[in-house]
Amino acid sequence: MTGNFIWVVNPVMVSRDARDAGQPAADWDVIEQVLARMREDGGRATPARRLLLSALLENPRHRSAEELAADVQAHAPDVNRSTIYRNLEELQRLSVIDRTQSGHGPPPTTSP
């Protein structure tokens, strides 16, 4: 899973008040709701998951896994990219986020 996909929070997970007011959804209540859902499914509320959810909610535009990893690693450099990818897949499985194909693969490379 590389830069060919972009991720966005499922609008159902954002409160109606935040959507109606056009406000950013970076809101601890939403993060706590998602983490509670993950715990119900047997997961844990880790600092990396909190940071990833915060990055997803703070910026409502579609973002690549690499952009999200950079945001998380700016606050916690020890979080591995593989952790970000696994958490994105888990959030997608729980219908918290949606994944969209952003292109047809990486741009071709040329030889000198």
Q: What is the pLDDT of residues 20-30, one digit of tens each?
A: 444 444 467 88
pTM strictly above 0.85: no
Could you give the domains of the chain? 27-101 (1.10.10.10)
List CB contacts of 48: < 8 A, sequence separation 6 or more.
72, 76, 79, 83, 84, 87
How far is it, in rounded angstroms, from Cα 37 to Cα 97? 13
More confident of the two residues 19 and 80: 80
Enumerate the β-bridge partners of residue 7.
Answer: 63, 99
Contact 102, 4 (CB under 8 A): yes
Query: Does residue 16 or residue 81 have the better pLDDT?
Result: 81
Q: Any bridge partners for residue 13, and if so which?
A: none
* Structure token digits, residue 33: 């709701």
Q: Greater confidence, 18 or 34?
A: 34
